[in-house]
């Protein structure tokens, strides 16, 4: 089975238009070989972002989706064109980050199918692949263990010093953390992109502001049917913690094209906000 990025590159070369469905993982919409939108089960979509931020209820958005789509949303909803552009930019980059590494699924392409927001903004496949790789490298540079990505966020009860400086997203994560919600669950509650919350959580971990994740329990020892002796299961070694703030260099993200307004400026602004300390 071909890797998803290779499959997308092939659809881009063929200038395909339609929806690439990845089972329950999500859907990638293309027009003329360029991505117009991505839906991902792991990260909030535009609908969830606006609902969580109090812009519109999800039921109201579904009603607009069924009757009029993007045009009616801008005419009747309390959402500006710039807000919609920024939200789509974040959602597509977010979904690409989570979907491109997906394996073990059999994609199905449906020619001609479009997302309800329509083909208004376009993202080149190679740029999305490069941006996703940059994000994975950035996360690893801040905190090398992915354990904090999937376990409940648990801030430490007392500060290690006299004070700390938190970004807006980090503060929201700390305030909302209930010792049970994972980073991606918090992203849905906060109306934030999944990647921005993962970034905030890893920075909190690097600063020593989170309770260490629970160790992965080793599997029960296997017993040989003849001698009855336990065969120990190999336990992975602990991951070393990087010194310093762990920041990495920046690189250009995906360049959305085909829109009459300057989405590139929105992309740069979004990246700068994510990387604020």
Q: What are 244-255's pLDDT values in tens digits? A: 343 333 334 444
Q: CA 226, 230, 233: angle at the middle one, nearest 5?
A: 130
**Which pLDDT score is estimated for 24?**
92
Task: Please report, for residues 7, 69, 203, 259, the alpha-carbon distance to residue 277 in angstroms, rounded to integers and kept in the order given.
Answer: 37, 37, 8, 31
Q: So what's the pLDDT on residue 41?
A: 92
- The residues pairing with 35 across neighbouring beta strands, listed in sequence order, are 30, 123
Lowest-pLDDT choice from 30-39, 136-145, 251-260: 251-260
pLDDT band for position 217 (cuts 50, 70, 90): low
Range with the largest mean pLDDT of 23-32, 154-163, 251-260: 23-32
Q: Cα 7 to chain center, whole Å?
A: 20
Instruction: Answer yes or no: is pLDDT of 62 > 90.
Output: no
CB 221 within 8 A of CB 232: yes
**Is residue 163's pLDDT more than 80?**
yes
Query: Under a CB-based contact definition with an 8 Å cutoff, are residues 249 and 135 in contact?
Result: no
């Amino acid at each position: 089975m071909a890797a998803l990025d290779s499959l997308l590159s092939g659809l881009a070369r063929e200038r395909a238009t339609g929806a690439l469905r990845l089972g329950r993982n999500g859907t990638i919409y293309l027009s003329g070989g360029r991505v117009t939108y991505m839906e991902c089960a792991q990260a909030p979509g535009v609908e969830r972002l606006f609902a969580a931020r109090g812009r519109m209820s999800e039921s109201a958005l579904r009603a607009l989706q069924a009757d009029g789509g993007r045009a009616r949303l801008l005419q009747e909803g309390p959402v500006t064109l710039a807000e919609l552009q920024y939200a789509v930019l974040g959602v597509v980059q977010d979904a690409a980050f989570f979907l491109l590494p997906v394996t073990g699924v059999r994609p199905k392409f449906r020619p001609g199918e479009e997302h309800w927001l329509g083909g208004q903004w376009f993202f080149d496949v190679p740029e999305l692949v490069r941006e996703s790789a940059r994000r994975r490298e950035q996360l690893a540079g801040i905190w090398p263990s992915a354990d904090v990505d999937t376990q409940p966020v648990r801030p430490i009860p007392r500060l290690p010093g006299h004070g700390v400086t938190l970004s807006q997203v980090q503060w929201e994560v700390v305030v909302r953390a209930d010792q049970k919600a994972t980073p991606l669950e918090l992203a849905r509650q906060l109306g934030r992109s999944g990647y921005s919350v993962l970034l905030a959580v890893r920075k909190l971990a690097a600063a020593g502001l989170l309770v260490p994740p629970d160790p992965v329990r080793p599997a029960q020892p296997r017993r040989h049917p003849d001698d009855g002796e336990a065969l120990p299961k190999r336990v992975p070694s602990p991951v070393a913690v990087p010194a310093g703030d762990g920041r990495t260099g920046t690189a250009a993200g995906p360049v959305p094209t085909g829109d009459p307004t300057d989405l590139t400026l929105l992309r740069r602004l979004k990246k700068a906000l994510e990387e604020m300390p």
